[in-house]
Structure 1
Amino acid sequence: MHSFARTHATEVALIAVIAVICTVLSFATTNFFSIGNAFDLLNTSSVNIIFAVGLLVVLIAGGIDISFAVAASVVQYGTAIALGWIGGGGWVSGLVIAGSIGICLGAVNALLIHRFRIISIVATISTFNIYFGLLMFFTKGVSIYDLPEWLTDRVVLFEHEMADGSWIEITLPVLVMVLCVIATWVLITRTTTGRQLYAFGDNPEGARRFGINIGAMQFIAFGWLGLMAGIGGLVQAHYAQEVVPNALYGRELDVLAAVVLGGARLGGGKGSVLGCVLGVLLIAITQNGLNLMGVSPFAFKMIVGAIILIAITLSNTSIERLLPFVTQKGARR
């Protein structure tokens, strides 16, 4: 147990923080500590977790991308239009189209970064504005409500009636999220490509000398995030039952805060899927609790900003470095 705490210090710390926050909120609000609220949190957090595991791969590879949420909006519109052309389609064709568009948008970022040697944050700030500008120009800000029935029909995987007459349920977005989480975990922990991504993010020059294809690493990382953005965009359209051009605008900072909070290092070479998921849940739980307490949404934005600062500070000082000090101090006693 002690060795697990040392090797997974960030995840253990996040679990402890989540437990404390949940305990406080259960006393501060009447509706927070309930099964129904927990299931609602899981359903509503699914899209952000899908985005987060995609962003995790980019951060592990030493990059950063803030264009993925807008890219997901572009995917929503592109997929809706393409489905209209083919007569409606289904989940398979929808996911293939959405994933393909997302990968292409991610590849644009990788091309700018690798071929033109543009710093990743500068490149993605540029594509963020380009994608959003083009989206608003061509759509004129008009939402799409006429979507195929298979996309708007709610798919309930599990439901149960509570004693008070309310219903709890798990919907399709949760299943898609679980599959994306598992796929990302397999990619970064069980494949040679995953090990190369960690090595490249930790020491790009050493990885280059070792023979790792740097261009391939960039395209795989940003392409994976593009794939997750495409899937997340389609799932969001299913959840909302409409396509709104600016619905996902602004989520990039919340997701980035969650992933960095989960232990991913902005310098690359570090991060885990478990920490990433816990980071998203921590922010979602905090937002949910503040909403139930009637706190202004603007205050939550301030808290997210503080979380980013704290997470970056912790990623620089490293929680793991503190543990040996704590252990030694305890041994002396």
Structure 2
Amino acid sequence: MPKLFHSHATEIVLLAVILLISMVLSLVTDRFFSLGNAFDLLNTSSVNIIFAVGLLVVLISGGIDISFAVAASVVQYIAALLLGQIGGGGWLSGLIIAGGLGICLGAINAFLIHRFRIISIVATIATFNIYFGLLMFFTRGVSIYDLPDWLTQRVVLFEREAADGSWAELTLPVLIMVACVMATWTLVTRTTIGRQLYAFGDNPEGARRFGINVGAMHFIAFGWLGLMAGIGGLVQAHYAQEVVPNALYGRELDVLAAVVLGGARLGGGKGTVFGCVLGVLLVSITQNGLNLMNVSPFAFKMVIGAIILLAITVSSVRLEKLLPFMRAPGERT
């Protein structure tokens, strides 16, 4: 088996599954295989992909965070209020405010985990409930509709008229998503910090003995996820053209399933940005196909549960053991 296939087995399998599902859906539905639907998939998947690349960094470092979606809800609400106080602002000030607030919330998780030696999933379950409880208590569940014009104005990057007379559009969230993906790819593959995150996630004690700053790894990983959560929250407000306190509640499991399905290991030290994006797209395509076939949305929750079980199984057992033809020549079982 060529080295390329051996080193990117998960991504290749995901691509094959995506192509297979897409072929089936194109046969059983009339709208799936269309430019408009493809662009809609990218537009609607942008926020989840932004969340996913942030969560990927935490998983690579050996941690786990389920509070990021609620943190994004907190950020978008506070950011909307602050932008109103400063007269509206613009995209630059909005991204700085949202990103800064997100980093602060991520740093709280990192502080709890590092300072008090709390297991990351326990710490983030606690902050998940604290953040959401505080948000609903102070907002009383009231949405914000009076947003700055720049935040509610649709920005179309590319458009083309479809055969049925409708318009297929790529919007600003896709551009922001691409920027976040490229920034995360650069962090984990082209910097010393990225190599340290992989080393720390793969062998925390060995990394500590080698001189890697454990506290820095926690703050960088959870801070990066906080940054992505803040940006994703602002993009969600732009896409929905309103700020709803509980709009992102529950999205964390969908994103976690997609990232682990994309090859990130729950134990840390493994995962790629490309696999992460493919995982999100696979989940989105599955949901989109079920919607087009008028299947109950509750069925999608069952699918997500199955995906989580499959992803955990694959992350616990090397893919080469499940698929023998992907073993490198001479590799023992």
Separation in structure 2 between the aligned mates of residue 288 and residue 42 of structure 1, nearest angstrom: 11
Q: What are structure 2's unaligned runs of at least 5 residues?
A: none
Q: Which amino acid aligns with 1:268?
A: G
2:57 pairs with 1:77: no
Runs of 4+ in 1 over 3 A off after TM superposition: 320-330
1:214-253 mapped onto 2 (5 Å cutoff): 214-253=214-253
Separation in structure 2 between the aligned mates of residue 11 and residue 264 of structure 1, nearest angstrom: 11
Separation in structure 1 between the aligned mates of residue 197 and residue 324 of structure 2, nearest angstrom: 28
Tell me the residue number matched to 1:313. 313
Tell me the residue number matched to 2:138. 138
Q: 3-state SS of the aligned residue for 1:169?
A: strand
TM-score (norm 2): 0.97
Tell me the residue number matched to 2:120. 120
Are the structure 2 counterparts of residues 265 and 178 from structure 1 closer, same or farther at C-alpha, using a change threshold of 3 Å? same
Tell me the residue number matched to 1:209. 209
Tell me the residue number matched to 2:263. 263
8 Å CA contact 2:64–2:266 kept in 1: the answer is yes
Q: Which amino acid aligns with 1:182?
A: M
Deviation at 1:2, TM superposition (A): 2.4
2:16 pairs with 1:16: yes
Deviation at 1:325, TM superposition (A): 5.8
Q: 3-state SS of the aligned residue for 1:30?
A: coil
Q: Which amino acid aligns with 2:6?
A: R
Deviation at 1:322, TM superposition (A): 4.3
Separation in structure 1 between the aligned mates of residue 268 and residue 172 of structure 2, nearest angstrom: 32
2:197 pairs with 1:186: no
Aligned CA RMSD, in angstroms, stands at: 1.5
Separation in structure 1 between the aligned mates of residue 146 and residue 15 of structure 2, nearest angstrom: 42
Deviation at 1:30, TM superposition (A): 1.2
Are the structure 2 counterparts of residues 329 and 95 from structure 1 closer, same or farther at C-alpha, using a change threshold of 3 Å? closer
Tell me the residue number matched to 2:292. 292
Tell me the residue number matched to 1:177. 177
Q: 3-state SS of the aligned residue for 2:32?
A: coil
8 Å CA contact 2:159–2:168 kept in 1: the answer is yes
8 Å CA contact 1:64–1:266 kept in 2: the answer is yes
Q: Which amino acid aligns with 2:85?
A: W
* Identity in percent: 81
2:129 pairs with 1:129: yes
8 Å CA contact 1:56–1:273 kept in 2: the answer is yes
What do the CA deviations read for 1:134-153 (whole angstroms, capped 9, x no partner)?
00000000000000000000
Separation in structure 2 between the aligned mates of residue 164 and residue 71 of structure 1, nearest angstrom: 40
More displaced stretch, 28-37 vs 176-185: 28-37
Separation in structure 1 between the aligned mates of residue 301 and residue 31 of structure 2, nearest angstrom: 23
Q: Which amino acid aligns with 1:273?
A: V
Q: 3-state SS of the aligned residue for 1:232?
A: helix
Separation in structure 1 between the aligned mates of residue 35 and residue 150 of structure 2, nearest angstrom: 28
Tell me the residue number matched to 1:167. 167
Tell me the residue number matched to 2:111. 111
Q: 3-state SS of the aligned residue for 1:46?
A: helix
What do the CA deviations read for 1:197-250 (whole angstroms, capped 9, x no partner)?
000000000000000000000000000000000000000000000000000001
Are the structure 2 counterparts of residues 327 and 270 from structure 1 closer, same or farther at C-alpha, using a change threshold of 3 Å? closer
8 Å CA contact 1:6–1:323 kept in 2: the answer is no
Q: 3-state SS of the aligned residue for 1:147?
A: coil
Separation in structure 2 between the aligned mates of residue 85 and residue 34 of structure 1, nearest angstrom: 43
Q: Which amino acid aligns with 1:217?
A: M
Q: 3-state SS of the aligned residue for 1:141?
A: coil
Separation in structure 2 between the aligned mates of residue 323 and residue 165 of structure 1, nearest angstrom: 45
Deviation at 1:327, TM superposition (A): 5.2
Aligned residues: 331
Separation in structure 2 between the aligned mates of residue 313 and residue 172 of structure 1, nearest angstrom: 36
Q: 3-state SS of the aligned residue for 1:165?
A: coil
Separation in structure 2 between the aligned mates of residue 328 and residue 200 of structure 1, nearest angstrom: 26
Q: Which amino acid aligns with 1:136?
A: M
